[in-house]
Structure 1
Amino acid sequence: MTDDTSTETVVDADSAGEPQAPGFEDLGVTGPVLGAIRDLGYESPSAIQAATIPLLMQGRDVLGTAQTGTGKTAAFALPVLERLDLAQKTPQALVLAPTRELALQVCEAFESYASKMKGVHVLPVYGGQGYGVQLSALRRGVHIVVGTPGRIMDHQAKGTLDLTELKYLVLDEADEMLKMGFAEDVEQILAQTPEDKQVALFSATMPAAIRRLAQKYLRDPEEVAIKTKTTTNQNIRQRYLVVSYAQKVDALTRVLEVENFDGVIVFVRTKNETETLAEKLRARGYSAAAINGDVPQAQRERSVNHLKDGKLDILVATDVAARGLDVERISHVINFDIPTDTESYVHRIGRTGRAGRSGDAISFITPRERYLLGHIEKATRQQPAQMQLPTTEDVNTTRLNRFDDAITTALDETGRIEAFRDIIAHYVRHHDVPEGDVAAALAIVAQGKTPLLLDPENDPLAASVEAVNRPPRGRSGRDRGGEPREPREPRRGRGDYAPYRIEVGRRHRVEPRQIVGALANEGGLRRDDFGAIAIKPDFSIVELPANLDPAVLERLRDTRISGRLIEITADRGAPNRRRPARHDDDRRPARHDGDHRSSYTDRDDRRPREDRTARDDRPPRKPRHK
């Protein structure tokens, strides 16, 4: 419980990393954990790490306020690993995260920090993954569980997750969890864990709901607030492109076609992806190489030197491999996979625009990652501009300009021009061909079999370009900058949705945002996959894509909202229940996140005939007498 004796530490993030700052060993990090973070290139702790690690080492509860990307994961992971009892096979630490992506990222961080420790088992637990893998790992024994609230509650309900000996519990991105409707789930999990556990709660903001949660479940916590002023170099132009995962390689190819780049670093999340993407780029004619933590140091240095010398144009890298990289030729940084923490983002794009030079940073963002733009804007105090995927016309214009530049450069070589002028004149005299035709023929010879210009009718990426450049569906008719957008047809017509019934309703105090948050997180759905949501007393109707993959339904079978199994099924109600009413005089339409307007009227609250028969087992109502 927090009380008047709790203290608060306010830290200016700009003071972190200076020479007088303590090292990790001064904070109590030792042995294999210290060795692992040094191998990762960590030199001095960030502000949140310097303020939080000693407190957690002392066993204090912590209430931390810091922006995403300030190094919170290491702030709680390092103390947990330092005090881990490897002999205990039941979970000792539980980390709750709002999304599966963040859960996986935290899990990977734990594994990196524990790379020099033997026998540490970390298990990610999230919706969408089969129970078999998770159950097998739990039976073998795990030390640290990182998961989303819904799946953690499922395991608690099934009795497959033993938290009776839990020592450490972390709520990561607590405000995001509450925004997604997980407040009751989080409280239920907290209530079912030992009272003497140590709790660390981290949040980018401190709304009243977070403070109430802390007052209820944290014991005399130390409050740590990080005042970050991190900004990126003003010489770096920041842009982003909204693109699906499947379109990323095509999008990268198009961007490289039209950008006037010198050297490029393309950042990806995993070691395997560096090799895969570098190979795809080489197949498309680019000189690219991969660097990651598994590449031998000598080979990494050779690749970097080739980039410096102009023998290589593109490095595909992970964060660890590119740490400290300073190459003057780097004109562009491309986040093929956008980092989920802003500290990594700032470090990545800082590879360009150095020593007063200008640079470009382009980030590929999937529709589900749009929320990260807000984190980036807050942390860097700059708003990246949205860009469009280059069209066939854009590519052809760029190719022609480069062809013109190549001719201009060749014309400057006076000595060589004179020699070839005699050769051309000889050919014209003996073959009676106009000089213009000879020049065109020489261009064909120089170009080879690859056409100089793309054929608009046969552009293999035309569909991808059209899909990526399609404006997002919005309510206001304006883009992020406030400029009016051209009117267009909705992305999905009402006929492309189908109604699904879930067994939670007003009686269970469920709200539309909880439904969206749980189904999106557990089923891998996007926000624009949701149509109307109607909340009834005992159940709710949710419109989802008519062509919904059966695998998504399977993932949603065990989803819980407010601790209750939703039991999702296709709704077979009366035809007029399949469509939101245009006018509803009796009830306001249900909304979730302010994005989807519509509801079902009370007169549509009907079940199939057999259900109504089952319900109507009451005695007939007595006639009313005047």
Structure 2
Amino acid sequence: MQNNESTVLFNELGLPAPILQAIEAMGFTQPTPIQAQSIPALLAGNDILGEAQTGTGKTAAFGLPLLAKLDASVREPQMLVVCPTRELAIQVADALTEFASQIKGLKVATVYGGQSYTPQIRDLRAGPQVVVGTPGRLMDHIDKGRLKLDNLKACVLDEADEMLNMGFLEDIQWILEHVPSDTQMAFFSATMPPAIRKVTQQFLKSPVHVKIAVVREAKANISQRAWRVNRIGKTAGLERLAETLDYDAMIVFVRTRNDTLILAEHLLSKGFPAAALNGDMNQSDRERIVDQLKNGKVSILIATDVVARGLDVPRISHVINYDLPTDAESYVHRIGRTGRAGRSGEAILFANSREMRSLFRLERATEGKIETFEMPDAKQLGQVRMERMQTQLKATFENQDLAKFRDVVASFTADNEWSAEDLAVALLFQQQLKQPLFPQADPVDNGRDRRDRGDRQNTRGRGDRFERGDRGARRGDRNERGGDRGSRADRGQRRNPGDFDTFRFEVGREHGVGPGDIVGAVANEINIDSSNIGHIKLFDQHAYVDLPKGMPKPVFQKLQQVAIRGRKTSPSIASEKEVAMAANSERRAPRGERGSQARRERRPFN
């Protein structure tokens, strides 16, 4: 079946009233081609194989008809959606929740690696009818009996080809083998490689094949560049771009609503005309901010994906991906805010070392090349500031009446026995205090910042935890890789003791805990970016975790609530001596005894 034209309306497809009310409230009346063909087939009870490019509306294509078939009075999982990445899982779950907003009692749960098990177990016990997750964490919950599939009515594989590219084929097969044989199946994929066809033949029964031809749009004139984040950090990097780029206006994309406020406030404090745009704002405030962007009162807009979709402001010349997008579709929407109507634009990504390795996915989605670049260093930044100041002074000489000020200079020099040059130097010094003409030299990076070293040590051989789904996190969950977060950095470069406090957590290898569990639980509980978590030293019964020094009391109280794999961590500040003694004790232990329990726990999953 192939047809790219849709002339029907949603209310002609046989969807029940609650679903129609929800999508009407969202402003949708006409389905996309993939939706127009998939919805009737799924409502009729057919298995389906959907082949369509990213951005064609696949979530609604399977979500609307399958939600319509669920029984909200039965508090058991009836619909399972498997996604390749945690970000896509969250996005799909949010969309399904919105589609089901008019179905009383229907709940959607999301499970993925890198997050503490505690909230996920709580959500599963609450009896959701829909469960969305990534392969590794779904397998864990199924294997432990926390996710029961006895009442499952429908199972969806979203972006099946992406899961194949990420090495999830065996995981997918394992999950599908645990699905009841009479479950309705729906596979959606942008391409159809042989391995996916093989899985289709194994698990789908006489599927309806819906194939939507690829629509080639005129390629926008957008150059793409990526910066590997180093020791100066994302915020300082953004400041440097705001000073050195020749831009009219830029949108900076961040992950959360709170991030928009924090970053916009920071830039304003540095003198940049910035503003936040997020979903918590009412419509009038959002319209006011967009008007300010259009008329030049705001030149840097800090925004989340949702509110910036469809935004068309001609003066946007740059898009900065401060946080990497959740998926390729989001990236395409982001960079589409520039280079519109024949204009040129530039998209810049901030990525750590792991994320840099996954940029090929974004290149494939845009059919473009992402070039790497180096952020201007302190010396180059100072040179830009000097040139800008010289330009400003020249404009002042040419356009302002300075006669009265000449009198002031003459008076100052006479009263204080200064030369005019001495006075000019002193005034120049005062002028540049906020933005020094000679910025402090950048910290030595040696090609790898400490954080990236720890990431690489923690993920080597496991893939990218963020861009490659939760495959790496799943292995961390199962403790398939031993070792301590950042241990290579420990050997190669010492951290500054003044930056962190070391906390002792009462969980360790023998509890099946890995560094990924600790990062996910701490970041989630105290709302801290994982990049701000330092070294993690893992032992049999406990772990030492470096967290930013000077933690406020309310944050420390939240930290006390952190639980990992159902165990209270009871964090307490550890002394340097205690950490050193524990490390020495570990080194003195016979090699075969180190982490032996952890290895025994790993064997069943090899």
- TM over 0.5, yes or no? yes
Mark the structure with the bigger radius of gyration: 1
Equivalent residues in 2 for 1:413-428, closer than 5 Å: 413=399, 416-417=401-402, 420=405, 424=409
| Aligned residue type for 1:87 | S
Match of 1:455? 439
* Distance across 1 between alignment mates of 2:464 and 2:273: 48
* Distance across 2 between alignment mates of 1:432 and 1:271: 56
Matched, 1:247 2:233: yes
| Aligned residue type for 1:416 | D
* Distance across 2 between alignment mates of 1:92 and 1:255: 49
Match of 2:95? 109
Equivalent of 1:310, from 271, 289, 296?
296
- Equivalent residues of 1:240, 1:365 under 8 A apart: yes
- Equivalent residues of 1:40, 1:320 under 8 A apart: no
Q: Could you report, residue by residue, the CA deviation over 1:55-78 in whole angstroms, capped at 9, with x for unpaired residues?
A: 323322121233444433232222
Partner SS state of residue 75, structure 1: helix
Equivalent residues in 2 for 1:319-398, closer than 5 Å: 319-370=305-356, 373-398=359-384
Counterparts in 2 of 1:61 and 1:108: CA distance versus 1, 3 Å = same
Shift of 1:432: 6.4
Shift of 1:211: 0.7
Q: Which moved more, 1:394-403 or 1:279-288?
A: 279-288
Match of 1:200? 186
Match of 2:73? 87
Match of 2:395? 409
Partner SS state of residue 94, structure 2: helix
Matched, 1:237 2:220: no
Equivalent of 1:547, from 459, 464, 487?
487
- Equivalent residues of 1:233, 1:350 under 8 A apart: no
Match of 2:574? none
| Aligned residue type for 1:522 | R
Match of 2:41? 55
* Distance across 2 between alignment mates of 1:555 and 1:29: 45
- Equivalent residues of 2:462, 2:471 under 8 A apart: no
Q: Could you report, residue by residue, the CA deviation over 1:100-126 in whole angstroms, capped at 9, with x for unpaired residues?
A: 333223223323333454432111122
* Distance across 1 between alignment mates of 2:470 and 2:216: 33
* Distance across 2 between alignment mates of 1:518 and 1:351: 30
Shift of 1:176: 3.1
* Distance across 1 between alignment mates of 2:231 and 2:476: 13
Shift of 1:93: 0.5
| Aligned residue type for 2:255 | R
TM, length-normalised to structure 1? 0.69
- Equivalent residues of 2:48, 2:210 under 8 A apart: yes
- Equivalent residues of 1:61, 1:199 under 8 A apart: yes
* Distance across 1 between alignment mates of 2:459 and 2:299: 51
Shift of 1:297: 0.8
Could you tell me the percent identity over the aligned residues?
Answer: 44
* Distance across 1 between alignment mates of 2:390 and 2:328: 41
Shift of 1:342: 3.0
Q: Which moved more, 1:203-212 or 1:272-281?
A: 272-281
Compute the RMSD of aligned alpha carbons: 4.2
How many equivalent pairs are there? 503
Shift of 1:196: 1.9
| Aligned residue type for 1:144 | V
Q: Could you report, residue by residue, the CA deviation over 1:337-361 in whole angstroms, capped at 9, with x for unpaired residues?
A: 2223333322222222334333222
Equivalent of 2:428, from 421, 424, 443?
443
Q: Which moved more, 1:282-291 or 1:397-406?
A: 282-291
Counterparts in 2 of 1:39 and 1:154: CA distance versus 1, 3 Å = same
- Equivalent residues of 2:317, 2:339 under 8 A apart: yes
Match of 1:594? none
* Distance across 1 between alignment mates of 2:53 and 2:64: 19
- Equivalent residues of 2:225, 2:373 under 8 A apart: yes
| Aligned residue type for 2:401 | R
Match of 2:527? none
Q: Could you report, residue by residue, the CA deviation over 1:435-494 in whole angstroms, capped at 9, with x for unpaired residues?
A: 4444444434544x424324334x5xx367964699x9xxxxxxxxxxxxxxxxxx69xx
Match of 2:601? none
| Aligned residue type for 2:91 | Q
- Equivalent residues of 1:123, 1:137 under 8 A apart: yes
Shift of 1:317: 1.7
- Equivalent residues of 1:107, 1:124 under 8 A apart: yes
Shift of 1:418: 5.7
Match of 2:258? 272
- Equivalent residues of 2:225, 2:347 under 8 A apart: yes
Q: Which consecutive unaligned segments of at least 5 residues does structure 2 have?
A: 489-503, 518-537, 541-590, 597-606
- Equivalent residues of 1:247, 1:464 under 8 A apart: no
Q: Could you report, residue by residue, the CA deviation over 1:491-521 in whole angstroms, capped at 9, with x for unpaired residues?
A: 69xxx97999xxxxxxxxxx99999997613
Match of 1:100? 86
Matched, 1:284 2:270: yes
Partner SS state of residue 240, structure 1: strand
* Distance across 2 between alignment mates of 1:153 and 1:499: 20
Match of 1:592? none
* Distance across 2 between alignment mates of 1:84 and 1:118: 12
| Aligned residue type for 2:428 | A
Match of 2:284? 298
- Equivalent residues of 2:112, 2:470 under 8 A apart: no
* Distance across 2 between alignment mates of 1:338 and 1:497: 21
Matched, 1:165 2:151: yes
* Distance across 1 between alignment mates of 2:458 and 2:426: 59
Q: Could you report, residue by residue, the CA deviation over 1:535-561 in whole angstroms, capped at 9, with x for unpaired residues?
A: xxxxx98777673998795445999xx
Equivalent of 2:169, from 169, 183, 189?
183
Counterparts in 2 of 1:317 and 1:121: CA distance versus 1, 3 Å = same
| Aligned residue type for 2:474 | E
Counterparts in 2 of 1:78 and 1:397: CA distance versus 1, 3 Å = farther
Equivalent residues in 2 for 1:465-504, closer than 5 Å: 467=448
Equivalent residues in 2 for 1:546-625, closer than 5 Å: 547=487, 554-555=512-513
Counterparts in 2 of 1:48 and 1:188: CA distance versus 1, 3 Å = same
Partner SS state of residue 223, structure 1: strand
Partner SS state of residue 487, structure 2: coil
Q: Which moved more, 1:515-524 or 1:200-209?
A: 515-524
Shift of 1:251: 2.8
TM, length-normalised to structure 2? 0.71
* Distance across 2 between alignment mates of 1:179 and 1:545: 27
Equivalent of 2:472, from 517, 520, 532?
520
- Equivalent residues of 1:35, 1:116 under 8 A apart: yes
* Distance across 2 between alignment mates of 1:294 and 1:556: 35
Partner SS state of residue 224, structure 1: strand
* Distance across 2 between alignment mates of 1:371 and 1:171: 25
* Distance across 2 between alignment mates of 1:63 and 1:378: 23
Shift of 1:32: 4.9
* Distance across 2 between alignment mates of 1:370 and 1:39: 39
Counterparts in 2 of 1:130 and 1:361: CA distance versus 1, 3 Å = closer
* Distance across 2 between alignment mates of 1:320 and 1:400: 39
Counterparts in 2 of 1:143 and 1:250: CA distance versus 1, 3 Å = farther
Shift of 1:184: 3.0
Q: Which consecutive unaligned segments of at least 5 residues does structure 1 have?
A: 1-8, 473-490, 501-510, 531-539, 560-568, 572-605, 612-626
- Equivalent residues of 1:331, 1:360 under 8 A apart: yes
